[in-house]
Amino acid sequence: MSQNIAGKVVIITGASSGLGAATARHLAALGASVVLGARRMDLLNALAEDITAAGGKAAIARTDVTQAADLTRLVETALAVFGKVDVLINNAGLMAIAPLDALKVDEWERMIDINIKGVLYGIAAVLPYFKAQGSGHFITISSVAGAKVFSPGGTVYSGTKFAVRAISEGLRHEVGGAIRTTTILPGAVDTELTNGSSHADSATALKEFYKQAIPADSVARAVAYAIEQPDGVDINEIVLRPTVQEF
C-alpha cells in the first residue's frame, strides 16, 4: 500500500471501463476507498465486486456526467458510505472524430456536454466539501489533443480537451493554496474511447492510430503518482504517450 493513498476516498467518473476501471483497481489495491460513477450499472457492479473480493473498498452510483444532479448524488454516496471525499477524478469522456464539414453537430454537443460540462459539474459537486475541509485533489483526464490539435477530424474533440486544461489551470489559481489540481494528458491508450466516432473514414484511421496504444493501467500509475505526493507537492500536469507515438 502507498502511505499517502491508503485511507483516501477517491471518486472516479467514467469508472465502468478503460482508464476509470483500471484506475479504480489500482488505487483500491493501494488502499484507497473508491467511489465509482458511470451509466452502465452491470459493469460497475462487477468492478466493485472484484475490488471487494480482492480486499478493497468500493461503492457505486449510477452517474451520467451530463446531469449535474448525478454528480451531486455521487458525492453524497461517498460521504454516506465513507464519510469524506479526498480526490475527484474527472475521467468520463467522449472522442467523436470527424472533419468539421461532416457537420456532426449532435456529436459536437455531446462532447461539449460530457468533456466540458461534465468536468464542471464534478467540480461544482465536490468543491464545497474540499473548501470546508481545507484539502482535496482534483484530477482531470484531458488528452495530448488538449496540448496539440488532433487533425484531421479532431478539431472539436481537441477544443474540449483544451478547455479542460484551461479549466483545471484556472481552478488551480483559485483554490491552489489548499487544494491540489492535476491534469493528465494521455496519448494513445487502450480504452473504449476509440468507439466514439460514427464517421467511417475517421473511425478507420483512428483504429489504425491506436494500434500503438499502451495499457490503461499506464494512466492509473500516473494518477497514483500525483495522489501519493506529500500534501505540499502539487503535480499540475502529466503528459504520457506510447514511446513510439509521434503526435
Q: Give the three-class secondary structure for 45.
A: helix
Confidence of residue 199 (pLDDT cuts 50, 70, 90): confident
Domain that holds residue 174: 9-236
Summarize the confidence of residues 152-178 as an average pLDDT. Answer: 94
Question: Residue 1 has what pLDDT?
Answer: 53
In a domain, 247, yes or no: no
Question: DSSP letter string over 67-94?
Answer: -HHHHHHHHHHHHHHHS---EEEE----
- Residue 10 sits at φ, ψ, to 5 deg, of -120, 120
* 2: pLDDT strictly greater than 70: no
Least confident of 182-186, 200-204, 210-214: 200-204
Q: Is the pTM of this model over 0.75?
A: yes
Question: Residue 117 has what pLDDT?
Answer: 98
In a domain, 2, yes or no: no
Measured CA to CA, the distance from residue 166 to residue 185 in angstroms comes to 13
Question: Residue 91 has what pLDDT?
Answer: 96
In a domain, 87, yes or no: yes
Measured CA to CA, the distance from residue 146 to residue 157 in angstroms comes to 8
Question: Residue 180 has what pLDDT?
Answer: 98
Question: Residue 196 has what pLDDT?
Answer: 66
Average pLDDT of the chain, as a whole number? 93
In a domain, 21, yes or no: yes
- Active-site residue list: 157
In a domain, 228, yes or no: yes
In a domain, 246, yes or no: no
In a domain, 203, yes or no: yes
| Vertex 225 angle, CA 220 and 231, to 5° | 135
Least confident of 99-103, 170-174, 197-201: 197-201
Q: Which residues pair with 138 in a beta bridge?
A: 88, 181
**Residues 74-122: tens digit of each pLDDT:** 999 999 999 999 999 999 999 998 999 999 999 999 999 999 999 999 9
**Residues 14-67: tens digit of each pLDDT:** 999 999 999 999 999 999 999 999 999 999 999 999 999 999 999 999 999 999
Number of domains in the chain: 1
In a domain, 1, yes or no: no
Task: Look up the CATH number of the domain holding residue 203.
Answer: 3.40.50.720
Q: Would you say 97 and 150 are in contact if contact means Cβ atoms under 8 Å apart?
A: yes
